[in-house]
Amino acid sequence: MRSGTANINIDEAVLIEQCRRGDFTAMERLIIKYQNRIYNVILKMCPNPDDAEELTQETFVKILEGIENFNGRSSFYTWAFRIAVNLTINHRKRGQKLVTRSIDAEDSEYNEQARTQLKEFLRDDGSPEPSAVAQNKELCRIIVDSLSKLDDTQRAVIVLRDIEDMSYAQIADVLDIELGTVKSRLSRARSSLREILEANFQ
């Protein structure tokens, strides 16, 4: 089963019911359970850590405000992430607190070693080692910056799939779109991301 299971388990159902009754201890448990995952997804969609923290906080406030009206038609997991993703997309649309940087200037900032490593990862037959990528901060920065250059809806679908490891059905539920739209959007998103990444060493 995926880490972000769609099926609401019994413990979580009890927790949600307790939250509905106003049990703040249950709310604390719910926040602790999801805070890292929601923050991680938001940060990948909105790379400014201060904004990501504020958006995560706002997400939980909205979740707790709206939990009384949570009807259970979708899973709590996708419902919570829908709030997080919508808040983040709206925030970026409004352009609040966004750090806008020149793409050219960004490109020139990357060091040669990271560019070469990226080129090897994308062109060589061997698969990149995740640990090697994670340890190279400069390479991580290139990938995050490349993600941020995607269209908001494309970025959301790629982050939910490749970082949060959601199924297509869950992504459709979070973004409130058809399953076929998820497939086409993900296909375009990966294609665009590859082009952006390759632009760094061409």
Applying CB under 8 A, which part among 6-14, 78-86, 98-106, 157-165 lies near another protein? Answer: 157-165
Compare residues 87 and 118 and give the one whose CB is closer to another protein. Answer: 118
Per-position DSSP letters for 70-100, written without gaps between them: --SSS-HHHHHHHHHHHHHHHHHHHTTT---
Residue number, 66 or 72, with CB nearest to another protein: 66
Nearest CA to 19 out of 11, 28, 10 is that of 28
Please answer whether residues 19 and 64 qualify as being in contact, where contact means their C-beta atoms are separated by less than 8 angstroms: yes
Question: Contacts with another protein: how many residues (CB under 8 A)?
Answer: 59
Among 4, 15, 16, 43, binds another protein (CB under 8 A): 43
Least spacing, CB of residue 123 vs another protein, in Å: 9
Encode burial over 57-80: b for 16+ CB neighbours within 10 A, e otherwise.
ebbbeebeeebeeeeeebbbbbbb
Report d(CA 96, CA 90) in Å as an integer: 9
Determine, following the binding rule CB under 8 A, whether residue 70 of this chain makes contact with another protein.
Answer: no
> Alpha carbon 171 to chain centroid distance?
11
Which 17-36 positions form the footprint of another protein (CB under 8 A)?
Answer: 19-24, 27-28, 31-32, 35-36
Instruction: Please give the full DSSP string across 93-141, using - where no structure is assigned.
Output: HHTTT-----HHHHHHHS-HHHHHHHHHHHHSSSPPPHHHHHH-HHHHH
The HSE-up count of residue 120 (CA atoms within 13 Å, CB side) is 12
- The yes or no reply on residue 72 touching another protein (CB under 8 A) is no
Report in angstroms how near the CB of residue 8 gets to another protein at its nearest: 19
Q: How far is the CB of 131 from another protein (least distance, A)?
A: 8
Q: Which residues bind another protein (CB under 8 A)?
A: 19-24, 27-28, 31-32, 35-36, 38-40, 43-44, 52-53, 56-58, 60-61, 64-65, 68, 118, 121-122, 125, 127-131, 133-134, 140, 143-144, 147, 158-159, 161-163, 165, 167-168, 183-184, 186-187, 190-191, 193-194, 197
